[in-house]
Structure 1
Amino acid sequence: MLRMDEVEVAYGHTAVVHGATIEVATGGVTAVMGHNGAGKTTLLRAVVGLLPVRRGKVLLDGEDVTALAPHKRVARGLAYVPQGQQSFGQMTAMENLQLVADGRKRGKGLIDEALDLFPALRPALGRRAGLLSGGQRQQLAIARALVTEPRLLILDEPTEGIQPSVVAEIEETILELTRRGDLSVLLVEQHVGFALSAASTYYVLAGGRVTSSGAGGQAAVGDVRAAMAI
């Protein structure tokens, strides 16, 4: 689905990601882990096209999209949920979803499908998004992304500041979506247990470089924690 091939990303003259190669399989979950400042969010922003790639390529289904504008990447099936449970705070939860659904043939159906995945949102649809709990706002952000019918869902720290019960719900939702086989997920996460439970493949980023990679699953927790401790 996605391949970042020897990608270098910089802010001005300062390189932040150095020659990273990362792959996301079709229908799979790939986790990128690392401490704050490792370059994880910078990597995601380069995938979406919000930051230019100085060297290397971003390939989507084999197509070189390195030079494409963000909206053209979205049109090819990317959906990005940035860090921080972002929503339009003065709009209701339903208006946040409707804003994305408008103009789509299956607009109402897409909203219903997203709410089936996050049923806790249904009683809160009439509330302003800014008044929702952190967990509800994160669920709303993911639901809104799913309304775009993505083929690749990109999540940046979806468990940050979220209570454990909601973390478990988000994990199960990610697994349910990928079990269907038509959605791939690129997940940036510091919560190692959560990331490896969901991921089939992982990468550890440190200082903007890939320092470790392998198969996901709980058996890899020790290896990842060791790699992150270096």
Structure 2
Amino acid sequence: MLELKSVHAGYDRTTVLHGVTVSVPDDGVATVLGHNGAGKSTLLRAAMGLLKPRSGSILLNGEDITHLAPHQRVAKGMAYVPQGQQAFPHLTTAENLQLVADGRPDGKEAVAEALDLFPVLRELSGRRAGLLSGGQRQQLALARALITRPKLLLLDEPTEGIQPSVVAEIEETILALTRRGGLSVLLVEQHVGFAMRAAQHYYVLEAGRVTSSGDGGTGAEGTVRAALSV
């Protein structure tokens, strides 16, 4: 689905990613783990076109999208949920969802499906997003992305800073989405247990380099924890 090949990227004179190669399987999950500052968010920004690689290439379904703008990548089926439970705080939950659905021929149906995945948002439809809890805003951010019916979803630490009960709901929703097919996920996640339950393949980043990779699954959790402890 997605391939980043020998990608170097960074900000101003600072190189953050040093020749990173990552692949996301069709209808599957690849997870990227690492400590703060390892380059995980930079990798997602490069994949989404928000940061131009200095070298290397990015392929989507075999097509070179290295030089495409973010909106062009969205048109090809990519969606991105950045870190921080982002939403328009002065708009209601319903207005946040409708803003994405407007102009889409299947917008009404897509909103209904998103609300089925996150029923609490239906109950909070009239509440301003700025008054939602962190977990509720994260569910709103995920719902907004899913309304675009992506083929590839980029998630940057979707469980960060969220109460455990909501973390479990978000984890189960992501797992259910990938199990039903038609969606690939590139997941940046700090919770190793969830990351390994979800992923077919994992990558550990350290100082902008892949230092460990392999097949996912709970059997690899010990290997990943050891790689992160180095």
Match of 2:205 in 1: 205
Matches within 5 A, 1:31-180: 31-180=31-180
Task: Kindly state the Cα deviation for residue 198 of structure 1 after the two structures are TM-superposed.
Answer: 1.2
Question: Following the alignment from structure 2 to structure 1, what is the Cα–Cα distance between the partners of residues 95 and 46?
Answer: 29
Give 1:228's aligned amino acid.
L
Matches within 5 A, 1:9-48: 9-48=9-48
Question: Following the alignment from structure 1 to structure 2, what is the Cα–Cα distance between the partners of residues 168 and 184?
Answer: 20
How many pairs are equivalent? 230
Match of 1:221 in 2: 221
Question: Following the alignment from structure 1 to structure 2, what is the Cα–Cα distance between the partners of residues 97 and 158?
Answer: 18
Match of 2:191 in 1: 191
Question: Following the alignment from structure 2 to structure 1, what is the Cα–Cα distance between the partners of residues 153 and 3?
Answer: 14
SS at match of 2:54: strand
SS at match of 1:53: coil
Question: Following the alignment from structure 1 to structure 2, what is the Cα–Cα distance between the partners of residues 7 and 160?
Answer: 26
Question: Following the alignment from structure 1 to structure 2, what is the Cα–Cα distance between the partners of residues 120 and 199?
Answer: 27
**1:149-171: CA deviation from partner (whole Å, max 9, x where unpaired):** 10001000100011111111111
Q: Percent identity?
A: 69
Task: Kindly state the Cα deviation for residue 15 of structure 1 after the two structures are TM-superposed.
Answer: 0.8
Question: Following the alignment from structure 1 to structure 2, what is the Cα–Cα distance between the partners of residues 220 and 119?
Answer: 33
SS at match of 1:89: coil
Question: Following the alignment from structure 1 to structure 2, what is the Cα–Cα distance between the partners of residues 120 and 197?
Answer: 25
Question: Following the alignment from structure 1 to structure 2, what is the Cα–Cα distance between the partners of residues 76 and 83?
Answer: 22
Task: Kindly state the Cα deviation for residue 217 of structure 1 after the two structures are TM-superposed.
Answer: 1.5
Q: TM-score under structure 1 normalisation?
A: 0.98
**1:121-166: CA deviation from partner (whole Å, max 9, x where unpaired):** 1110110000001110000000000001100010001000111111
Q: TM-score under structure 2 normalisation?
A: 0.98
Question: Following the alignment from structure 2 to structure 1, what is the Cα–Cα distance between the partners of residues 66 and 171?
Answer: 30
Give 1:68's aligned amino acid.
L
Question: Following the alignment from structure 1 to structure 2, what is the Cα–Cα distance between the partners of residues 199 and 119?
Answer: 25
SS at match of 1:5: strand
SS at match of 1:6: strand
Task: Kindly state the Cα deviation for residue 190 of structure 1 after the two structures are TM-superposed.
Answer: 1.1
Two-structure CA RMSD over aligned residues (Å)? 0.7
Give 2:144's aligned amino acid.
R
Question: Following the alignment from structure 1 to structure 2, what is the Cα–Cα distance between the partners of residues 164 and 29?
Answer: 22
Question: Following the alignment from structure 2 to structure 1, what is the Cα–Cα distance between the partners of residues 123 and 12?
Answer: 46
Task: Kindly state the Cα deviation for residue 68 of structure 1 after the two structures are TM-superposed.
Answer: 0.5
